[in-house]
Amino acid sequence: MKRNMAALVFGNANYVNGGILKNPANDAADVSAKLSSYGFHVIVATDATNKEMDKKLKEFKKLLEANDVGLFFFAGHGMQIDGRNYLLAIDTDISDETDAKHSSLSLDKVIDVMEKSNASTKIIILDACRDNPWERAWSRAASIRGLASVYAPKGTIIGFATSPGELASDGKGRNGTYTEALLQHIDEPDLTIETMFKRVRNTVAAETRGKQTSWEHTSLSGNFFFNISLGKIIKSYPEIAIADELFVVDETKPSHKIIKGLKSHNWYTQNAVLSQLTAASVKKMTDSNLFVLGRNIYQAACGGSNSARIFVLSFMDETSGYPDEKRKALLDGMLFEIFFDPKAKLRSKIKSNLFNELFDLQKYASLKESFEFIAEALIASDGEFYALPGRDHELAVTVGTTKVKDAYRVDAIYVDGINVFRAEDEEWTVGGEEQKVYGRKSAADLKEQLSQELVVPMRSLKLTYTPASAVKGELQVPFGYTVRKP
């Protein structure tokens, strides 16, 4: 389910021979951040020399050996010489055309590296036709300004900021006009890259009043989406179950009646409707409806419904007699609700009330497929985890403490040799160490807190303390500090 994607991003602005640009470094930073959020492994370089550009391209070539999608982005000066395109390094020798092409990065070289790679989808985006003084000094005709048309090999799409003979705007704000439009439309979910580029073209044309027209060459054989929703990736359940804000209750169906009752936020109603969930009734329910039902059972349990809580805590007994696939659908839904909101977006904080109780079910071999399902969903979401939930991977954590009077003060928490203990926001750092406020916890309480914040079940969390005696004492833990991923 996880897409293996790599990108090389350049932003050249401070040209040593003049032609300094305002925004390419910002363009590179913003594009690389956006690509990283979609799961790309990004190599980024700003104000790169010719030697540095060649070095980064070699790194990218190596990276493409293990990736299905390759993306190259360049913002800066570019030009065509003898019908071929060149991307200018900040130290490109612009004495004449011959010197310039031998001290720049050839676009043909980039295309050749990507064409011969293992990547099946290759994307090249060039915001590289910005006005430069050298072409004017060489007395070039307007028809050969900017970049020339190029052939797109199989599986490749090449996006240009302008049509041949046009110049690209460096933009009025933080980004170039083309990159700004790209960043505006790239987030639209489930949009094919071709449709995205069409929307970029409309935005660029509107922004420049028709003076700049972006264009593309493509030979893609399949669809590529930057922002692909989980509903498009997960095939086990329909999108109305994965993004259950889309779910419409049909009270003619028994499963829907239970779901409606659980959504009531009324404990008496919630407790009553769960009695309708029996081995006999479950056999007639679809897996999709049971998935949504599982989400709502966990939601109700976290909200205080006693019957829902008992159902979660006694899951094996409560589902005794259920067909295996029906039990799986219910548990899949419960696990999904921990991590994903009604839009199928990864929660910033997991719904942790019964996180450990559900993950204790990993000890049952018959439930293995549900934990594989949630692990794959989390991989597809491109979330960052200390240890991937569902795979039962252990995480070793060391709690650093200092003995103070009758307790041990927690000063640091190390994972993989890095102190991940930090103030959740700046307010907690005002006044320095002497102004910290501490609460008291037992080692068991701290382990539960760390489990929820690290998103690692307690059964997989291996804690040690320095000094070792701290585990038996009372702990002082500063308020406002966390180990959650930033």
Find the distance separating the first CA and the last CA of the chain, reported in whole Å.
25
Q: Before 457, cis peptide (omega within 30)?
A: no
β partners of residue 225: 192
Whole-number pLDDT of residue 139: 45
What is the pLDDT, as a whole number, of residue 168? 62
pLDDT at 443 (0 to 100):
94
The region, left, alpha or beta by phi > 0 then psi within -120 to 50, assigned to residue 190 is: left
Write out pLDDT tens, residues 118-168.
999 999 999 986 555 555 555 444 445 567 778 888 999 999 988 766 666
Q: Which of 367, 348, 347 is nearest to 358 (CA)?
A: 367
β pairing state of 78-81 and 84-87: antiparallel
Q: Which residues, 6+ apart, have CB-to-CB distance to 420 below 8 Å?
A: 386, 413, 414, 483
Q: Find, among 128, 20, 31, the residue nearest to 75 by Cα.
A: 128
How do residues 31-87 score in pLDDT, each as one tens digit?
999 999 888 999 999 999 999 999 999 999 999 999 999 999 999 988 888 888 899
Distance in angstroms (rounded) separating the CA atoms of residues 157 and 68: 14
Decide if 332 contacts 373 (C-beta within 8 A): yes
Cβ atoms within 10 Å of 14's Cβ, excluding its own: 13
Query: Does the pTM of the predicted model rise above 0.85?
Result: no
CA–CA dist 241, 253 (Å, integer): 16
Output the pLDDT for position 203: 94
Q: Exposure string (b/e) for 306-331, b if CB count within 10 Å is 16 or more? A: ebbbebbeebeebbeebeeebbbbbb
Calculate the CA 76 to chain-centre distance: 27
Q: Identify the segments of the chain with pLDDT beneath 50.
A: 139-143
Closest CA to 31 of 191, 151, 178: 178
Residue that is written with structure tokens 């893609």 in the block: 220
User: DSSP for 427-458?
Assistant: GGGTT-GGG--EEEE-HHHHHHHHHHHHT--G
Q: What is the pLDDT of residues 410-445, one digit of tens each?
A: 999 999 889 999 988 877 666 666 678 889 999 999
